[in-house]
Amino acid sequence: MNKFPSVLECIEELTFEQIRSLLDVSAQNKIRFEDRQFAPYESYRKFVVSTSFLEHSTRTKHSFAIAIQKLGCMYLDFNAEKSSLQKGENIEETLLTLWHQGVDLCVLRTSVSHQLNEFKNLPPIKLINGGDGVNEHPTQALLDLFTLIDQGHELEGKTITIVGDSLHSRVTHSLVRLLPQFGAKVILCGPDEYLYDTKGVATLSTNLDECIQQSDILYLLRIQKERHNSPRHTQIYENYAEQFGVTLDRLAKFNKKIPVLHPGPANIGLEIGHDVVKSELFLGYQQVVNSVYMRMAILMAMLENRDKNIGHKPLAV
C-alpha cells in the first residue's frame, strides 16, 4: 500500500486502497472499543497528539480528543485563545514549538481554506485537517462513509442528495470527492445561490421534493450563516424551512423511509424537523459514535507511517 500522507488535507490525497483500509480498521476499532471500552494499545503510548482548533467545535475536536486517548497516546489540548497566537505568533511558529515539545501529530482546524498547504514540508509535524475554511473536512466525510456502510447502506448504485448550503460546506466538498468512488450518484439540492459547479461530479437541483423521490439517502447541511456576507445568501433564510426543510411529513408524502444524515450542529426546526431527529431514520448520533472509530483509524495510519526522515531528524535552526 502507498504510504499514508503525513499531512491529510483533502480526500484526493488518499488512494482508494487506503480509504478501504481505513474503513476496515474503523470496523475493527468499533468491535474493540464498543460499549465505552477503554482498551488502549501499548504501541501508541509513545506518541503525543494535539488538537489545535482555531474555530469553534464540539463534535470534531472532542471525538479526536477521545480517539487520541483511547488509543493510548498522550493528549495535548492546545488552547488557541490562551496561547501566544494572541500575542501575534503565527501558526507555523506555533507548530514548530509544539513539535520541539514532543508533539508528533496535530489536528488543526482553521478558518483559512488550504492553510495546511503552507505546512506540508515545514515543520515536520504530522497534520490532520479538522476543517479548513470552506475547503474540506476529510475526516467528517470518511466517518460519514463508514457510518453508511456500518448501518448497512452500501453505496453502489445508490443516490444520495446533499441538501443545503453546499457552496460554503467543507463537508460537501469532501463528500463529493469521496462518495462517487464507492459508486454513489450525488445530487446537490438547495437554493441556486448555495449550489456550485462540481464539474459534472454531482447533479444540481433546486427542487427538494423531486430529489427526495429519487434518493436512497439524504444528507442535510447547516446553513453556514457565519460565512454569508451578501444579501444574495441571507435573503434565503426566510422561506428555507418550507422549501428545503426535511420533516417526517415531507418524507411520508413520497412514502420514503430513507436514512437522514447531518454532520451537526443542526438547526433543528429549520433544515431538519424535530420529528426527524427523534426518528429511527436519523443517523446523526451514529455518525457521532462512529466518528471516534474512524478518527482512531486515521490516527493509527498516520502515526504508524513514520517516515525515517520525519520524527528523528533534528530540525535545522
Q: Is 137 in the site for ligand NCD (CB under 6 A)?
A: yes
Q: Build a one-symbol-per-residue string for 85-124: x at contacts with ligand NCD by CB under 6 A, - elsewhere.
A: ----------------------------------------
**What is the separation of C-alpha 202 from the centre of its chain, rounded to a whole number of angstroms?**
19
Residue with cell 424551512: 241
Of 26, 29, 51, 60, which one interacts with ligand NCD (CB under 6 A)?
60
Of 5, 131, 138, 245, which one interacts with ligand NCD (CB under 6 A)?
131
What string of DSSP letters covers 255-315? T----EE--S---BTTTB-HHHHTSTTB-HHHHHHHHHHHHHHHHHHHHH---TTSSSSPP
Using CB atoms within 10 Å of the CB of residue 308, give its burial: 0 to 12 exposed, 13 to 18 middle, 19+ buried.
exposed
* Smallest separation (angstroms) from ligand NCD to the CB of 144: 10
DSSP state of 268: B
* Smallest separation (angstroms) from ligand NCD to the CB of 255: 30
* Smallest separation (angstroms) from ligand NCD to the CB of 275: 21
By C-alpha distance, which of 241, 261, 292 is closest to 175?
261
Nearer to ligand NCD, 68 or 96 (CB): 68
Which residue number places its CB atom closest to ligand NCD?
Answer: 222
Q: Is 273 in the site for ligand NCD (CB under 6 A)?
A: no
* Smallest separation (angstroms) from ligand NCD to the CB of 269: 16
Phi, psi of 99 (to 5 degrees): -60, -45
* Smallest separation (angstroms) from ligand NCD to the CB of 82: 22
Cα separation of 52 and 75, whole Å? 11
* Smallest separation (angstroms) from ligand NCD to the CB of 131: 4
Q: Build a one-symbol-per-residue string for 228-267: x at contacts with ligand NCD by CB under 6 A, - elsewhere.
A: -----------------------------------xx---
Helices (H), ranges, 77-220: 91-101, 138-150, 170-178, 208-214
Nearer to ligand NCD, 25 or 272 (CB): 272
What is the size of the binding site for ligand NCD (CB under 6 A)? 11
Nearer to ligand NCD, 151 or 214 (CB): 151
Cα separation of 44 and 65, whole Å? 14
Phi, psi of 187 (to 5 degrees): -115, 135
Nearer to ligand NCD, 137 or 185 (CB): 137
Cα separation of 65 and 302, whole Å? 16
Of 158, 170, 185, 295, which one interacts with ligand NCD (CB under 6 A)?
170
By C-alpha distance, which of 178, 232, 167, 170 is closest to 204?
167
Binding residues for ligand NCD, per CB under 6 A? 59-60, 131, 137, 140, 170-171, 222, 224, 263-264
